[in-house]
Amino acid sequence: MPAGVGIAIDFETAGRAAHSACAVGMARLENGQVTDHFYALIRPPSARVLFSDIHGLTWPMLKDAPPFAQLWPRMEEFLHGAQWFVAHNASFDHRVLQASCRASGIPEPRQPFYCTLKGARRSLPLPSRTLSCVCAYFGIPLNHHHAGSDAEACARVFLRLQALGVSDAQMRL
């Protein structure tokens, strides 16, 4: 496992633009354990929510949520001391985090990202390595496309992949 504290992170988006985050989930990893959770809705930059059929979030649910820039201080507090991130399909979540920070005028976090999708592709004999398939394989509970559940599940997948001997280098984004 990478040294220090890590954060499993998952975003849901309202549109195709990378900065259209509408929900974030995070799970804190310390000493091989999930020690804390964070979940929040985010008011997206547009009232047009394209992926309600996937994540179940609608404009009436999101319109009173804080925009990313207003939510950031709470997120930053949760991230305090984190030395790395992990996500399933980390290139997506990394891109959303970067774009949301840029659009909000916030300096982007510079911690390295690890990817459990990469680790699963390298090590699991499954026809699909989606988060739901990997969680089913490991017996990890999942409410798929709920950012909080996805983040916690990713944290647990990461720990299981590490236990199987998948190295940090094999999961580095």
Q: Return the percentage of the chain with pLDDT > 90, whole number.
A: 98
> Is the pLDDT confidence value at 1 over 80?
no
Average pLDDT over residues 14-22: 97
Query: For residue 55, what are the domain limits?
Result: 5-171
pLDDT in tens, 84-111: 999 999 999 999 999 999 999 999 999 9
Q: What is the pLDDT of residue 2?
A: 83
CATH number at residue 114: 3.30.420.10
Structural domain total, the chain = 1
Nearest to 34, CA basis, from 173, 172, 155: 155
The tokens 């699909």 sit on which residue?
128
pTM of the model: 0.97
Beta bridge partners of 85: 7, 113
pLDDT in tens, 57-74: 999 999 999 999 999 999
Asked if 163 and 141 touch (Cβ cutoff 8 Å), the reply is no
CA distance 79 to 161: 23
CA distance 92 to 81: 23
